[in-house]
Amino acid sequence: MKILIVSWEYPPVVVGGLGRHVHHLATELAAAGHELVVLSRRPSGTDASTHPTVTHIEDGVLVVAVAEDPAHFVFGEDMLAWTLAMGHAMVRAGVALHKPGVGEGWQPDVVHAHDWLVAHPAIALAEFYDVPLVSTLHATEAGRHSGWVSGRINRQVHSVEWWLANESDALITCSASMEEEVTTLYGPQLPPITVIRNGIDLTTWNFRERAPRSGPPKLLFVGRLEYEKGVQDAIAALPRIRRSHPGTTLSIAGEGTQFTWLYQQARTHRVARAVNFLGNLDHIELLGWLHGADAIVLPSRYEPFGIIALEAAASGTPLVASTAGGLGEAVVDGETGMSFQPGDVTGLTSAVREVLDDPAAAQQRAVAARDRLTADFDWHKVAEDTVHVYAGAKRRVRHPLARPEIPERPLPGR
């Protein structure tokens, strides 16, 4: 099968878990014998006039990386204009695949879009090639804001997500909670939705049992520094944890818009000296921190999946996670980790204390988490299930789309 994947993230341009997900999926599909082209982007600010498009083959995948045109837009300041510029460049490069002397008449059997930022090029290219459009919705604007999309940009992003969902011929979500969320937000004329969980490559995350603790407990958070990730709840719980486990530290790996606020939260809770902001870590650095932590704390208030939970489990790090979205499906409370309700600082504190009080039991749960990965989160299975969606997707009859509804209250359970 010839597959055209459209994603705004693909190595070396990786913003979050989406880029890693698309990379693993593409390489696994290529290894299975499918013909893969990934249409992605070059780093922001690349001069489109001198380096508009770069192509290379890596791991059996033809990567076509474009520079947004023009390049003077800044994502954080001109988000929709930047997205339109990127989409314009992607459409131009995607159509060129069909031209003699460029792509030698290459024609995909399916177009696979990843998230709203590539809605325009993915819809346009699926129509140009007259092939099914499959879209994976990794998150929603409403979900990221607890169901509220009151701002002008929020409403625009929500509308683009609704457009992509309703123009697709098949949809994929990474968890059952995301399937419910997408159905609630974008129905009732949606195409079929299939739940395919994210995968994990166990060969890159070597398991290590916890050595006996030789000093104060070490907690770790890994993720974007945004409100929905709940880092503020881990900081708020730290003074309570330190009362029963003196000297406990919290190391925070990642970057985001809430860094200054979170730093102030550490000062407000009088734990600034016990909170260490690490910034972004490369793979080797992250693995070292995972191996050295007594537990990883994932206090998300909104989480479509939470791939770091899989990476921590593969590394042998005891899991303490909220039940938000996909985390509630990835972590089995009391069996593969400890769970608590999103935003529940008291529950978070109790879960961490239970891990620190009984390292042997925490180790048993970590082993159980690792064992579960081989059965439920294998990339070969993810790719196989995705191909089934491709094969079953058929071009739907297009009707004029109604105006999208804008959520006016939190989503159920938010």
Residue-wise pLDDT for 27-58, tens only, equals 999 999 999 999 999 887 777 677 678 888 99
3-state secondary structure of 36: strand
User: Would strands 275-279 and 338-340 be described as parallel, antiparallel, or unpaired?
Assistant: unpaired
Residues 155 and 246 placed together within one structural domain of the fold: no
In the prediction, which pLDDT does 399 show? Answer: 67
211 and 183 assigned to the same domain: no
In a domain, 403, yes or no: no
- CA distance linking residue 319 with residue 200, whole number of Å: 16
- Reduced to 3 states, what is the DSSP secondary structure of residue 316? coil
Q: Say whether both 82 and 180 belong to one domain.
A: yes
Please give the pLDDT value at position 103: 59
CATH of the domain at 342: 3.40.50.2000
Q: What are phi and psi of 33, to 5 degrees?
A: 100, 5
Q: Do 212 and 145 belong to one domain?
A: no
Residue (of 320, 153, 118, 165) closest to 234 by Cα position: 320
Measured CA to CA in angstroms, residue 70 lies from 48, 64, 125, 160 at distances of: 7, 18, 21, 21
Co-location of 171 and 271 in the same domain:
no
In a domain, 399, yes or no: no
214 and 172, same domain (yes or no): no
Residue 3: the pLDDT is 98
CB 185 within 8 A of CB 407: yes
Is 397 inside any structural domain? Answer: no
> What secondary structure letter does DSSP report for 216?
S
Residue 312 · residue 306 · CB < 8 Å: no
Looking at residue 38, what is its pLDDT? Answer: 97
- pLDDT at res. 264: 97
Examine residue 363 and state whether it is found in any structural domain, yes or no.
Answer: yes
Counted domains in the chain: 2
Same domain assignment for residues 165 and 219: no
**Which pLDDT belongs to residue 76?**
66
Tokens 């978070």, residue located: 348
Going by their DSSP bridges, the two strands 295-298 and 275-279 should be labelled as unpaired
Regions of the chain where pLDDT drops below 50: 414
Which one-letter DSSP state was computed for residue 404? P
Q: Are residues 56 and 184 in the same domain?
A: yes
Its domain, for residue 284, covers 202-376
Separation between Cα atoms, residue 392 and residue 29, nearest integer Å: 17
Contact 176, 329 (CB under 8 A): yes
H/E run at residue 40: strand 35-41
Q: 136 with 239, same domain?
A: no
| 109 assigned to some structural domain | yes
pLDDT at 336: 93
Residues 268 and 191 reside in one and the same domain: no
Q: How many residues does the chain have?
A: 414
What's the confidence (pLDDT) of residue 210? 82
User: Domain for residue 413, yes or no?
Assistant: no
Same domain for 215 and 362, yes or no, is: yes
Looking at the domain assignment, is residue 311 inside a domain?
A: yes
* Secondary structure letter of residue 402 according to DSSP: P
**pLDDT at position 67, please?**
87
193 and 280 assigned to the same domain: no
CA nearest to 323, candidates 348, 304, 342, 343: 342
How many CB atoms are closer than 10 A to CB 372? 17
* Res 196: pLDDT: 93
